[in-house]
Amino acid sequence: MSQYTSAREQYAALGVDTESALETLAKTPISLHCWQGDDVGGFEKAGSKLEGGGIQATGNYPGKARTIEELRADLDKALALIPGKHRLNVHACYADLSAGRVDRDAYTIAQFQSWVDWCKSKGLGMDFNPSYFSHPLAADGLTLTHPDKKIREFWINHGIACRKIGAEIAKQLGSPVVTNVWIPDGSKDMPYDRKSPRERLAASLDEIFAVPVDRKLNLDAVESKLFGIGSESYVVGSHEFYLAYSVKNQLLYCLDAGHFHPTENLSDKISSVLQFVPEILLHVSRGVRWDSDHVVLMDDPTRAIMEELVRGGFLGRTHIGLDFFDASINRIAAWVIGTRSTIKCLLAALLEPAALLRQAEQAGDHTSRLALMEEAKTLPLGAVWQEHCRRQNVPGDHSWLAEVKNYERSVLASRN
């Protein structure tokens, strides 16, 4: 008997159908963030660095992608080691400016056509993000809330341009695009006036979202944050701000796992937020003591997120995106580890003895509920995971690592 057949029987004994779990897993895409490949650098200018970004990649591992071509080659390598069909999440600062320089407020699909063509050739869907950082007009850490109207207008126009680009990408790829707004605006030390920047942010967002863009093609999302480097004391776009804004305007709310107090659980927010917004975007990440964007692992917080999506029947209203960037290890391995772990967490959630757990809970039998949750942890998840990888034609075990090491020697080593 194969390991999978035996696993299937063990799960079936608890009322779990591994085949239907594998089917759901295979059709749930994860949106891979392009920015893991070059430490959120982008290719607008040579050696562009995060300025006033409130986000920071640390580490200096050799082999970082220096051009769009290198980034795509690296992504290709990573995608070949990740089971399933996924999506690519592109930031506006990854614009292809080979046909001529344009500033961000004037971007159109032209600067992203090569990304769309590339994704089309790989069968990948795409998601998109305006970039409100790494730009001279974001140098003081303020964008949509800037007191200078001219600077605000530049960023408003960038936001509008990106929503139109999102819709055009969706049209070309035949799959809706989530366009997510995150801004770094905030203050290192206590501000005197917390109100005015929030009034300006609401007004700027209103202008961005007032422009009609087909909601079936472009899905607008807004992302909150608790604090960042250089915005420790005050972040304009806080949780309360964006939760209220997304409820009022029926936008997607983006929950980033690193953007809350370390003792808060993102998983517990999902069933609350989804009472009031149509859909959510997740930035699956791993904060270590702060919003550090460590590589996602198969850990309890990530498992709990996926459990909530499955238990609540929320997969159809959730866009799962990744948001981590680690420059201290092989960047392709980081993509592979983080994405495989996310998928593994989803699989574990799909393999919970759901019917028995629900039954025990409804009967008020909390003893059985607790016992079952514990017993389920040692079921042969690994055999089902390997079967998924086998069906998707990727390595089911650690042998993917040898391929990354080989790529490091043959390709990455010549970059500097």
Cβ(226)–Cβ(234) below 8 Å: no
What is the DSSP pairing of strand 234-235 with strand 186-187? antiparallel
Cβ(48)–Cβ(91) below 8 Å: no
For 70-81, letters b (16+ CB in 10 Å) and e give: bbbbbbebbbeb
| Cβ-proximal residue to ligand RNT, closest one | 182
Active-site residue, from 164, 259, 344, 388:
259
Using CB under 6 A as the binding rule, the residues of this chain from 381 to 410 that contact ligand RNT are: none
Q: How many CA atoms within 13 Å lie on the side-chain side of 113?
A: 7
Please choose, out of 15-23, 65-73, 77-85, 316-324, the segment that lies near Zn ion by the rule CB under 5 A: 316-324
Active-site residue, from 239, 269, 283, 388:
283
Q: What is the distance of C-alpha 371 from the center of its chain?
A: 34
- Provide the residue count of the chain: 416
Using CB under 6 A as the binding rule, the residues of this chain from 298 to 337 that contact ligand RNT are: 323
- Binding-site member from 4, 11, 35, 260 for ligand RNT (CB under 6 A): 35
Q: Is 223 in the site for ligand RNT (CB under 6 A)?
A: yes
- Binding-site member from 39, 127, 307, 323 for Zn ion (CB under 5 A): 323
DSSP string, 282-329: EEE-EEESEEEEEPP-S-HHHHHHHHHHHHTT-GGGEEEEE----SSS
Active site residue 214: no
250's tokens: 């029926």
Using CB under 5 A as the binding rule, the residues of this chain from 276 to 295 that contact Zn ion are: 283
Active site residue 225: yes
Binder of residue 104, out of Zn ion, ligand RNT, none (CB less than 5 to 8 A by kind): none
Size of the site for ligand RNT (CB under 6 A): 13
Please choose, out of 80-88, 171-179, 221-229, 310-318, the segment that lies near ligand RNT by the rule CB under 6 A: 221-229
Active site residue 323: yes
Tokens 């809350």 belong to which residue?
260
Using CB under 6 A as the binding rule, the residues of this chain from 63 to 102 that contact ligand RNT are: 91
Where does this chain bind ligand RNT (CB under 6 A)?
35, 40, 55, 91, 129, 182, 223, 225, 228, 256, 283, 291, 323
